Amino acid sequence: MVLLARPRILLSSRRTLLQVAQRYKSAQTEAHLHHIHSKVSNVLGAVYPAEKLGLSEVNENVLKAKYAVRGAIPMLAAELNAKLKKDPHSLPFDNIVSANIGNPQHLKQKPLTFYRQVLSLLQYPGLLEENEQVLIDSKLYQKDAIARARRLLNDIGSSVGAYSTSQGIQGIRETVAQFITERDGGEKAYAEDIFLTAGASSAVSYLLSILCKGQETGVLIPIPQYPLYTASLALNNSHPLPYYLDEKSGWSTNPTEIEDVVNNAIEQNIKPSVLVVINPGNPTGAVLSEEDISQIFAIAAKYGIVVIADEVYQENVFDGAEFHSMKKILRKLQKSNPGVFDNVQLASLHSTSKGVSGECGQRGGYMEITGFNNDIRQVILKLASISLCPVVTGQALVDLMVSPPKPGDESYELDQQERKSIHEALAERAGKLHATFNSLEGIECQKPEGAMYLFPRLLLPFKAIQSAEHEGMTPDAFYCKKLLEATGICTVPGSGFGQEPGTYHLRTTFLAPGTEWIERWENFHKAFYEEYRD
């Protein structure tokens, strides 16, 4: 069947055509439709229309990929939210708490004022040309925000609505290089090693697309891990090589176990090509020590393994913990061990989605590559070129993230106040949730050192495990479903991130404002245990 644009006619039969022609009372229309029907009939003949595409005809690697953060529990949460909108009194709660994903501004975290002042001027530069003094006099914009917008517009060269170079705007990459140099105690970073990206996820996609060669490739990933990595490996038809983090010691790494994983892969004719490190940890909230990182590089140097350092939570570190960038530790190792670590290849990732920025929807990020030869650099650039360029306003946000207002700038005091407020609120809720979990029967939770998540262990009663099996669910998914249905709190089962066999966990953010939802959770858990007590 063919659909005409004007008039909108479904060509299903000669009779339909004649009826339409009569309706339009036009001999010319009738003749035209007769002509079209004749042409269509010649093509179709007596053959029935072909069937629609089915799952058996699509890329099977796409079907294998899973992403628990937006999986079955969040989908149920969306259904319940729609139900609440139709009838606010239909459920035993009045809102959904989206604790399943690190999406700060969705959970009422306010954008930083300096960021949005600059971005608004980038979107509407006419304000600068026509009304700059009015903007200053009205106190709607600070002078340093106006100056930053002018500098960025000069770096961008035309408009945020135009494509940039595929590697990202040169001036912004220079700002990132300066930030890394200062962060790492003077260890020099270079703009040509920086690729601006649409968040950290696109950098992961570039790297794994290049480094994975199908079934012969293995990628070491921490367990528990962020599901982006297993999903990306499924798309690239390559092997995940899990190395387990030690929960009892605060989710630390075990170098002996990592090396065992490498050697076992080699024995199975799988090349361990990449080792992923998430620091601070997602979903664990752990921060790796300098010793942990050094041991990882020792393995990478010994076996020629590329290291991907997912460091998007480097701003989210709480009192008592210290973030060490992997680039800084690598440079220290190279200086103290001449020749041993010279060939280590490191890709470090950062994002505007986390930290105190929380600009998830704006898709800004960067990747710094260290130790790669120029041939590989050109392949990365080719992949970036296929996407043309990262979002230009996202690139601008990277500049703002790595170079916030400095002491003496007009925006400095307000910016510091906003950052401190966000950080303190996150730390307070993390502490409250951690203390609540450890006060309850059947939950064990490591103290969070960073990131935005807790990954508590559920010591579920056997009766609850049986009930889960009866419903065809994993026990942790069963708990998360019951929690959602009773309280509106949406979390992600630990099985979506990976966990030691025989253990059950869940991941929750602590981004939701207030503590009332934590009290809801506490009451649910007590009732759950009473219902399923052995």
Q: Kindly report the pTM of this predicted structure.
A: 0.84
Please state, in angstroms and as integers, the Cα–Cα distance from residue 171 to each residue in 123, 178, 526, following that order.
Answer: 18, 11, 55
Instruction: Decide if domain 167-370 falls under CATH 3.40.640.10.
Output: yes
The CA radius of gyration of the chain, in Å to the nearest whole number, is 28
Tokens 């704006």, residue? Answer: 362
pLDDT reported for residue 5: 42
pLDDT reported for residue 183: 95
pLDDT reported for residue 490: 93
Q: What is the pLDDT along the chain (534 residues), one digit of tens a residue?
A: 444 444 444 444 545 545 544 555 555 666 676 776 676 666 666 566 667 667 666 666 666 656 555 578 888 998 999 999 899 889 888 889 988 888 787 788 899 999 999 999 999 888 887 777 777 878 788 999 999 999 999 999 878 888 888 899 999 999 999 999 999 999 999 999 999 999 888 888 889 888 888 889 999 999 998 878 888 888 888 888 999 999 988 899 999 999 999 999 999 999 999 999 999 998 898 999 999 999 999 999 999 999 999 999 999 998 778 999 999 999 999 999 999 999 999 999 999 988 888 888 888 999 999 999 999 899 889 888 888 889 999 999 999 999 999 999 999 999 999 999 998 888 888 889 999 999 999 999 998 898 889 999 999 999 999 999 999 989 999 999 999 999 999 999 998 888 888 899 999 988 888 888 999 999 999 999 999 887
Q: Which residues of 417-430 are buried (b: 16+ CB within 10 A; e: fewer)?
A: ebbeebbeebbebb
Q: Are 329 and 290 in contact (CB under 8 A)?
A: yes
pLDDT reported for residue 349: 96
Q: So where are the chain's domains?
A: 64-161+403-533, 167-370
Same fold, 64-161+403-533 and 167-370: no
What's the half-sphere exposure (Cβ side, CA atoms, 13 Å) at 325?
23
Strands, DSSP E only, in 302-374?
306-310, 346-351, 365-370
Instruction: Decide if domain 64-161+403-533 falls under CATH 3.40.50.2000.
Output: no
